[in-house]
Amino acid sequence: MNWDILIRYAPALVGGFGVTIFCWLMGSAVGLAIGFAVALAAAVPSRALKAVLRVYVEVLRGTPFLMQLFILYSGGPAIGLRLSATTAGIVGLGLYSSAYYSEIFRAGFAAVPRGQIEAAMSVGMAPIDILARVRLPIALVAAAPPIINTLIVMSKETVVLSIITVPELMYQMQTMAAETFTAFDAIFAMAVFYWCLVEVVSRLGRRVEERATAFLASR
C-alpha cells in the first residue's frame, strides 16, 4: 500500500466516509419512520389498506436494491422526479429498509404477550395508553436485535450507492484507484475496512441482543 497516495487522497476518503455515514443514518431514519408507520397502519382493520401495504413490502423486498436506485435516479426524471445522486441514495435506502423495518415492527408487536395486554385492559386502561405504556415498550425491546442486524446490513448496502455516483467511500476509493492505478490495494483496503467495521458493530449488536432476550425472558 502506497502511503503517499493514501495521504494525498485522505481528505477525499474521509469525506467519502462522511457521506457513507450520512446516507446510512438518514436512510435508516427514513426507513425506521416509514416502517413504523406501515406497521401501525397494518393494524387498521381495512382489507384494501392491508393489501396495498402487502404489495408495498413484497415489491421492495422482492427486487434488488440496485434496481430500485436506478428507477429512482435514472427513471425518476421521466416522471418529473429529478433527485441528486445523494438524495436518491437516501430515499432509496429509506424505502428499501422500510420494507424490512415494517416487518420487524409488526413481529415486535406480535411478540407482546397477550396476558400483559389483558392485564392492562382489566384495570381499565384506555387503548391509547395500553399502546403507549405496555405494547410499545415491549415491542421495541423485541424489535431491537433485528433492527440492529438490519442496520448492519444497510451499512453494507451503502456501497451500492457508488454505482449511481453517490460520492461515498466506495466511490472515492474507486476514483483514487482509477487515477493512481492501485485498484487491487484500494479494494483490499475497502474489504478490510468494512470487515472491521461490521465485526465491531456486530459484537455490540450481540450484546444488545443478549440484554433484550434476558429482558423478554424475565417477563
Partner 1 sequence: MRLSVIFHSFGYLTQAAGVTIALSLAGIALGFVFGTLACVARFSGKPWLERLGGAYVSVFRGVPLLVLLLFVYYFLATVGLDVPALVAAIGGLSLSSGAYQAEILRGALNAVPRGQAEAATALGYTAFDCWRRILLPQALRISIPPLINEFILLIKASSLVSVVGIAEITRVSMNIASMTYRPLEAYLAGGLFYLAINLSLAGLGGLAERCAAGGAR
| Among the residue ranges 99-107, 110-118, 190-198, 210-218, the one whose residues contact partner 1 (CB under 8 A) | 190-198
Determine the Cα–Cα distance for residues 147 and 159; give it in Å rounded to an integer.
20
By CB under 8 A, tell whether 136 contacts partner 1: no
Determine the Cα–Cα distance for residues 90 and 2; give it in Å rounded to an integer.
33
Determine the Cα–Cα distance for residues 24 and 151; give it in Å rounded to an integer.
8
Chain mean position to CA 46: 28
C-alpha cell at 180: 493512481
Select 84 or 202, whichever has its Cβ closest to partner 1.
Answer: 202
C-alpha cell at 124: 381499565
Query: Cell 467495521 appears where?
Result: 197
By CB under 8 A, tell whether 56 contacts partner 1: no
By CB under 8 A, tell whether 28 contacts partner 1: no
Non-local CB neighbours of 31 within 8 Å, separated by 6+ positions: 93, 94, 95, 96, 97, 98, 100, 101, 154
**Least Cβ distance, residue 129 to partner 1 (angstroms):** 37
Sites for partner 1 among residues 142-161 (CB under 8 A) = 156-157, 159-160
By CB under 8 A, tell whether 178 contacts partner 1: no
By CB under 8 A, tell whether 163 contacts partner 1: yes
Q: Which residues here bind partner 1, judged by CB under 8 A?
A: 58-59, 62-68, 70-71, 74-76, 78-79, 156-157, 159-160, 162-163, 170, 174, 183-184, 187-188, 190-191, 194-199, 202
